[in-house]
Amino acid sequence: MTLDPSYIGRTYPPSGPYEVGREKIREFADAIGDAHPVYRDPRAAQALGYDDVIAPPTFVIVLSARVGAQVVFDPELGLDYSRVVHGEQRFVHNRPVRVGDRLVGVLTVDNIRTAAGNDILSTRVEIATDAGEPVATAYSTLVARGPDREP
């Protein structure tokens, strides 16, 4: 059950760029039931002062989870994904994600611990454009519940 603590502090190479697509933002906004026009209509976005449509505040997870998969699904770490639930999540935005952004993410393992029989993995993914402009940081804590644990 126990995770390999030698991963603490490990930082991974930057991910390849993820290009934020117009239809991906629309699809995500539809999936979270958010009808705000700033996610769909360039004119509505311009009325709020943006060049083009922006993404919802939690859209960053699409990229940060992808980048985080480098460690989450690393068999050497020993995380049982079928027992994983989300423990905590925090986003810090330098600016909204915009359509056309080419984003790269740098993954760092902030902490690994065991509490009450659960394995707990805390990571952060620092997201910037491929030109180096900071966009957001996503902090995630995943909990792999030990056997016979109530959720």
The two structure tokens encoding residue 99: 């359509």
Would you say 148 and 120 are in contact if contact means Cβ atoms under 8 Å apart? Answer: no
Question: Per-residue x/- marks for other proteins, 70-89, CB under 8 A?
Answer: -----------xxxxxxxxx
CB of 6 to other proteins, least distance (A): 26
Told to check if 36 binds other proteins by CB under 8 A, we report: yes
**Torsion, Cα of 85, 146, 1, 69 (10° steps):** 0
Indicate whether 21 belongs to the interface with other proteins (CB under 8 A): no
The rounded distance, in Å, linking the Cα atoms of 151 and 29 is 29
Which CB, 19 or 27, lies closer to other proteins?
27
105 binds other proteins (CB under 8 A): no
Residue type, 46: Q
CA-wise closest residue to 104 among 20, 1, 4, 9: 20
Q: Residue numbers of the site for other proteins (CB under 8 A)?
A: 27-28, 30-34, 36, 38-39, 47-50, 54, 56-58, 61-62, 65-66, 81-93, 95-96, 139, 145, 147-151
